[in-house]
Amino acid sequence: MNQKHVLDKAYNPKQVEEKWSQFWIDEGLFTAEASSKKKKFSMVLPPPNVTGSLHMGHALCFTLPDVLVRWKRMQGYNVLWLPGTDHASIAVHNVIEKRIAQKGLSRERIGREEFLKMAWEWKEKYGGVIINQLKKLGFSLDWTRERFTMDDGFSYAVNRVFVDLYREGLIYRDYYMVNRCPHCGTVLSDIEIEHKEMKSQLYYIKYPLVDSQNHVVVATTRPETMLGDTAVAVHPDDERYTRIHGQKLILPVTGRKIPVITDERVEREFGTGVVKVTPSHDPVDFELGKKHNLEQVTVIDGSGKMTEEAGEEFRGLDRFEGRQKIVRELKKQGFLEKVEDYQHAVGHCYRCKTAIEPHLSWQWFVKTKPLAQEAIRVVEEGKIKFVPSNWAKIYFDWMYNIYDWCISRQLWWGHRIPAWYCQDCGKMMVALKAPQKCDQCESSHLVQDEDVLDTWFSSALWPFATLGWPGKTEDLETFYPTDLMSTGFDIIFFWVARMIMMGLKFMGEIPFKEVYINGLVRDFKKRKMSKSEGNIIDPLEMVKKYGTDALRFTLVALAAPGMDISLSEERMVGYRAFVNKVWNASRFVLMNLEEGELKVEEEELTLADRWIQSRLNHIIKETNQALQQYRMYEAAEKIYHFVWHEFCDWYVEMVKPSLKQRSWTSLSVLVESLDQILRLLHPFMPFVTEEIWQHLPYSGKSLAVASFPQSRKGKEDPRVEREMKLLQDVITEVRTIRAENRIHPHKRVPLWIKVKEKGHEESLLHHQVYIIALANIRELKIKEDFPQEKKLLRGVTPAYELAVPVEEGMIDFEKEKQRLRKELAKVQEEMDKIKVRLQDDSFLQKAPKNVIEETQKRMDSLKDQKEKLRKNLDQLLSSHERREGR
């Protein structure tokens, strides 16, 4: 046996993974060729944040497409899977601002230039963490084409898109009501807001009528904003308040006079039916203010602090401190009528979870409706398909009700908006390059806009800007449009829809043909993973404990398209056992390998050889079909069961007699089967399969670029599979008889078989070598009938009746009788306890439905177990009685 073919006794994931991950990169096996004549398959990686470290969501989101990419590459496609990272404006700001805060500084104190210098230094030092993690985990990305959303070429593309859209009137600047995060210090778009149900209070405040002893009561959850009220509104058809239409009220605490207006948008059922109107601090009030020409009084600024317009005693207070103080003042002056508990949805920043503040300011917007129309059409016509298809409905629901997109952010790290303002005449200029002078007054006193673009704006260009747009590059011509976008459902609006809009606008083509949506990774109780729950499973820790292949296979096997997965460490333990099973089976094959050319002689094929060839051909066809339909979980499950339960448990055992007889044909079938299995498994478990494959007697640089198996006509043999099934049923039943009666594994026993249908006995005798070897049988006899007086351990299969004659010393009757009775008592005791629960009305009424169902299932299982134990005991006693009476 050649040392080249020897595997270590135990599989060491760490050594193997370090070796092959670097080898694949060094050999350029993942590098696509723009000039290749081969059919292409292209994808872009959803760019992780440059601040990121690999979490389980990444592991799932990147493993699923890696399975597909590796499969396509092995099918002979010219594959491009393009990697990169996103500059993540808000995330980087949080990192840098925490650093400078530790030195007692703020970004305002150090200035923009110094802040950006620190951000770039941090990016160069730490920004590659997640990229290195992706490389180590073997994701088959083309690292020669790695991009960053703020590299020079990409930044030029971003500015080009902005300028083009502005010149077409699809980008505009307006003084408008936006969502602002006081903590992050920037505006957020509507879909970056998370709404949470919050316990709050509803404050009922008296607003006196001018020149009257009467008042109206206004209900509000935000009394601090009343300092900015410029009207009170009622519904025009609300008869309770027709007497005050057009009258004036006195704004409590301030003494300012404000009008009563009428508007159909007032909800008569809310509070008292009288609502305060604060145009500077509520989106609906902002629209009412424009309609009724109301003044805008800003009493809370962008950092969540009370302003000068709120009054001297409130200026500088945090907005929630301002609430407490205004409530005390209202109570003191007799304006607070009552306070009620109230629950309502409050918007929070998706990044830092701070309650957002509606805020009036100058911002930049994209007119999305004109862009959305074409993006809707391509999905309706099936040019872009969602997998699963139900996610298209979610896409349409948002696209049909789309709002203009606020794209400016009050941050420094990011793509600075290419707009300049003349300090002398006020003219605004938008251009690709910084203008030297004002094109209206020719002044050189120009200042660039302070804001940067929303990160999602640049990310929307990812499928084409990464390929060299606006240049006409070979990559763009070869790989655009891409074939598949694999991503999470939570960014269909943030990213998928916007990529479609921008791709159609600037390329005139869809950016991808299909969108595969994966679910979230939850814990085994189906809870979202979070630090507060203490249920986070770190993928890097799992890799250290179980190896990358076990992690990958676990995620793929659990990931039905669009469905959340329930992950537990126990699952990875199970699939690590599978990795070891593959390793040990391969080790057995290689230990039997001899020098010489492997060759299969058809006439020398045994039943087991023909069977494994047929089953392998079947699983190859099913695997390719499942992957073609993006059912990676189904492909993984089928391969798993085939490898473990058919190849390892059956064929490896059945081939041993042929190997002892030095059958070159059976050895060749064994090695070829292993080769095909490793190819099938490689997209799912790349490391262990590469390591084993390199020990096989085949030529080729790497399994990563070896051909993927294809099913062949004529290789499936239903007759052989039926014949093998008859033998497997017999072996399984004999093993069950032995196990249930505690017959020692090394004890060879006789077996009698009675054939139910004529014609089955010939095959049985012809292939009895398998039954003798795998069921540890001393001799096998075909019987017309079984003698009644003989003590027998009986079994049955669909084709045969079986009997193992009981011999002296085979079974310890007393010991076995005691064991069975003890097991029966234990099962009965548990059944009695469950019966009490299922008859308890309190349990049936209060317990969750799934708990009741699981309890009933357990009861059914115990009933089956009891019946089997009783049958075995009766059979044992019957045999013993015959023995004693003989």
Mind listing the pLDDT tens digit for each residue in 586-628? 999 999 988 777 888 989 999 999 999 999 999 999 999 999 9
CA distance linking residue 44 with residue 113, whole number of Å: 32
CA distance linking residue 166 with residue 132, whole number of Å: 38
Q: How confident is the model at residue 240 (pLDDT cuts 50, 70, 90)?
A: very high
> Does the bond joining 470 to the residue before it have cis omega, within 30 degrees of 0?
yes
Return the percentage of the chain with pLDDT > 70, whole number.
97
Over range 98-111, report the average pLDDT: 90
Give residue 692's pLDDT.
97
**Residue 563, Cβ density class (10 Å: 0-12 exposed, 13-18 middle, ≥19 buried):** middle
Most confident range, picked from 300-314, 782-796, 802-816: 300-314
Give residue 1's pLDDT.
45
Query: Is pLDDT above 70 for 4?
Result: no
Most confident range, picked from 142-156, 192-206, 525-539: 142-156
Give residue 106's pLDDT.
87
CA distance linking residue 18 with residue 648, whole number of Å: 28
CA distance linking residue 81 with residue 706, whole number of Å: 18
Q: Is the dihedral of CA 872, 878, 883, 884 positive or negative?
A: positive
User: pLDDT tens digits for 654-664?
Assistant: 999 999 999 99
CA distance linking residue 34 with residue 785, whole number of Å: 74
Query: Is pLDDT above 90 for 275?
Result: yes
- Is the model more confident about 714 or about 446? 446
Query: Is pLDDT above 70 for 530?
Result: no
Q: How many helices (H) and strands (E) does the chain have?
A: 30, 29
Task: Specify the pTM.
Answer: 0.84
Query: Is pLDDT above 50 for 877?
Result: yes
Give the chain's mean pLDDT. 91
Size (the chain), residues: 886
φ/ψ bin of 293: left (φ > 0), alpha (ψ from -120 to 50), beta (otherwise): left
Within a 10 A sphere around the Cβ of 50, how many other Cβ atoms? 26
Residues 6+ apart with CB under 8 A from 540: 53, 54, 133
Give residue 309's pLDDT.
94
Geometric angle at alpha carbon 263, from 262 and 265, rounded to 5°:
150
Q: How confident is the model at residue 879 (pLDDT cuts 50, 70, 90)?
A: low
* Contact (Cβ atoms closer than 8 angstroms) between residue 274 and residue 218: yes
* Contact (Cβ atoms closer than 8 angstroms) between residue 590 and residue 5: yes
Give residue 14's pLDDT.
93
Query: Is pLDDT above 50 for 886?
Result: no
How many angstroms separate the Cα of 225 from the Cα of each of 201, 222, 300, 313, 322? 14, 6, 8, 14, 9
Question: What tokens does 43 get?
Answer: 């994808």
> How large is the angle between the packed helices 607-628 and 664-681, nearest 10 degrees?
10
Give residue 486's pLDDT.
94
